[in-house]
Amino acid sequence: MKHFVLAYAMNDALPTITREDLSRLTHINLAFGLIKDGLLDLSQLTHIDLLEKFREWAPAIRIILSVGGWGAGGFSHMAMTQEGRERFAASCREAVERFGLDGIDIDWEYPCSDQAEIDCDPADKENFTLLLQELRRQLGEKSLSIAAGAGEYFIRDTQMERVQEIVDYVQIMTYDMRSGFSHEAGHHAALSAGAGDESGLNTRAMVELFHKAGVPLSKLVVGAAFYSRRWTGVENRNHGLLQKAESVGIGGPAYSDLTPEFLQKGGFTQYWDEDAQAAYLWNGSEFISFESPEAVALKAAFVKEAGLLGIMYWEHSCDSTRELLKAIHQELG
């Protein structure tokens, strides 16, 4: 079985993608198309002309347009009517045809929820399914996927047993599992449960959650984080792990910014949690959760062990060293 290795790449990251990167990837997810007046809007993807070069370098690469992302609204209102769904799906089909794309990835964060401060409605649960059905009808054999939040809330607010029949695969965002809503410092992208952590906020638990909700393991893609989460004012116990923090888990440095100079300046020591199979930094008051090459390699090994489809990561520009992508490729490539 050939496993997927998918890179989410924002517009400014596209010019940094190299021929060697493409040799280690199966997919590029262009982040993001948005919704404007109920239709697909690509105005922010100013480097989309680079796709022709990517295909010259790697003819087998699959280029997928991801629509949505955190704080991207318009889904709920658009999906409320059959006419709205048809118009939006038609605009997606036209973009696929115009740019020679291989499919559409829907990143609606999150149906039935206003946590991203976007429009929502209780009817989103059913309309999410109906939207995907219309996209499938209009896209035909082109790829259709979703990015799914890693938590019970996404299962509750969608119909995954029906969704999985429509889409080609489901990408679980197994990062930010502890994030900007959590005052407990801990791993935000752990593979397994750490000692004393009964939250279920880990990759293995999320895979089991989605599988029990009806998604075949062979349709599941897990996520790796090429960026960190940082907590400040953390109680100085257990190296800050699972301790109360003054801050929530704010966005931390990109992986390539976690240099020896950064660690020395901040007084950080790097630790490895053998139970959670996750790395972190601690300096007595600040806790930084990040994914090391060892951590992403173990996630990739889990993909093979569990019979999953693959691994994706957010976001390509966060690792200029390419150490993380190399570790994934060595395990799956």
Q: Catalytic residue numbers? A: 109
Identify the burial level of 97 via C-beta atoms within 10 angstroms of its C-beta, where 0-12 means exposed, 13-18 middle and 19 or more buried.
exposed
Does residue 35 contact residue 74 with C-beta atoms inside 8 Å?
A: yes
Q: By C-alpha distance, which of 303, 277, 306 is closest to 291?
A: 277
Q: What are phi and psi of 138, to 5 degrees?
A: -85, -30
Q: Alpha-carbon distance 333 to 19, whole Å?
A: 16
Q: Alpha-carbon distance 333 to 326, whole Å?
A: 9
Collect all residues with Cβ–Cβ distance below 8 Å to 298 and sequence separation of at least 6: 191, 277
CA angle 62, 63, 68 (to 5 degrees): 135
| Token pair 């370098």: residue | 57
